[in-house]
Structure 1
Amino acid sequence: MKIISLFAGEPRLLETATEEKLRTAIHKSSANSLRITKQGIQGDDVANTKHHGGPDRVVCLYSLEHYASWEAEYGHPMQTPGAGENVLTEGMTEDKVRIGDMFRMGTALLQVTQGRVPCRTLAVYNNMPDLHLRFKETGWTGYFMRILEEGTVTGQSAVELVSTDPAACTVAEANHILFHQKEDAAAARRLFQSPGLAQVWSELLSARLR
């Protein structure tokens, strides 16, 4: 597991290849380090507060491994960062990381809370039609993390898995349950019981179970 790149950025009006204008923070700039607090990353913010931001969704991670697959499928490079991620990693794909996993990155301690819910901005920004739907189909969504201990992460920081629960859902499993198993009460219950799950997903699953 390692950090490849770090990114931060504020929301702004973005003109796309289709001349559509979007107010979004997906277009972030490279950063040498990130100062991370429990409420957010300094110099970083979100535009869509329904699916991003808040104490359960401070840091967004995405995997370098997925870039080549998307670029091969669509025939041209993704933007960087293509998923609006703060941390681009290697060796931390959704099938290897569990809800509730705790990672030490630099001086910060972070906990995985939920998969990233993909929106149409991904497709428009990358000029890759229906990319947000392909994110859901594959489960290659990236994921969010809350901050248990504030600190600073640099591009040279090591990544250490501090705690994991083998019974918890992987992010890939969590995505599949949320997006594709809407009538499966047993699956919903298993995800609901995953320690560390984001409050918004807990509420959604609770309503589904009712």
Structure 2
Amino acid sequence: MKIIALYAGGPRITHTKTTELHSGISKQTTSRLQVTKETIQGDGVALTAYHGGPDRVVCFYSREHYGTWEAEYGKQMQAPGVGENLLTEGMLESDVCIGDVYQIGNTMLQVTQGRVPCDTISKYNEMPNLHLRFAETGWTGYFMRVLSEGEITLESRVTLLERNPNACSVLEANRIFFHEKKNADSMQRLLCSNGLAKVWQDRIEERLLEL
């Protein structure tokens, strides 16, 4: 597990060849992130319904996915293409579980949910329906809450400190959340994942009541 790049930046107007976006997706490279329990210094989001808040302070995405999307769409995808704060290697959605606690530098972070992809990802990268492919594959990236504040640098070591042996991987959690909306057993299993973001807990409980 290692950090490839760090990014931060607040919402701004970004122009593509076909549209104008007001979003926090367009972040700038940085050598360090100053992380608190509420935010990252110099970072911000536009759509607070899907990003930000204490359960979604830090966004991760895997470098391994970039090559897949580039091959599928036949064009280069420039990082940070999904507004991630950390571009990593060896931390795929299948490797990381809801509730995992990581030491990164002098911070302590906990995995809370997969990222919910919106069409801003497709528009920003000029790759039609990329956000739908994110949801189909489960390669969405994921969020972490901050348990212990501090600083993350490019040299920071990533160490898994704690994992519940019964926890859902982020890939499993994404499959349940996006595709198994009528599967009570799967949803109950995800609800039992310690550390799950409250917004996902609430949504799953609503779906269970609707069955």
Instruction: Give the TM bin, normalised by the shorter chain.
Output: over 0.9
Q: Which stretches in structure 2 are left out of the alignment for 5+ residues?
A: none
2:157 equivalent in structure 1: 158
TM-score in terms of structure 2 length: 0.98
1:35 aligns to what SS in structure 2? strand
Deviation at 1:22, TM superposition (A): 1.1
TM-score in terms of structure 1 length: 0.99
1:9 equivalent in structure 2: 9
* Distance (whole Å) between structure 2 residues aligned to residue 130 and residue 141 of structure 1: 13
1:114 equivalent in structure 2: 113
What is the letter of the counterpart of residue 53 of structure 2? G
1:148 equivalent in structure 2: 147
1:17-166 aligned within 5 A:
17-18=17-18, 20-166=19-165
* Distance (whole Å) between structure 2 residues aligned to residue 47 and residue 188 of structure 1: 29
2:172 equivalent in structure 1: 173
* Distance (whole Å) between structure 1 residues aligned to residue 181 and residue 191 of structure 2: 13
Q: How large is the RMSD of aligned CA atoms in angstroms?
A: 0.5
Post-superposition CA distance 1:47-82 (Å, at most 9, x none): 000100000000000000000000000011112201
1:69 aligns to what SS in structure 2? helix
Share of identical aligned residues, percent? 58
What is the letter of the counterpart of residue 15 of structure 1? H
Q: Which stretches in structure 1 are left out of the alignment for 5+ residues?
A: none
Post-superposition CA distance 1:128-167 (Å, at most 9, x none): 0000000000000000000000000000100000000120
What is the letter of the counterpart of residue 109 of structure 2? L
List, as ranges, runs of 4+ consecutive aligned residues in structure 1 with deviation greater than 4 Å. Answer: none
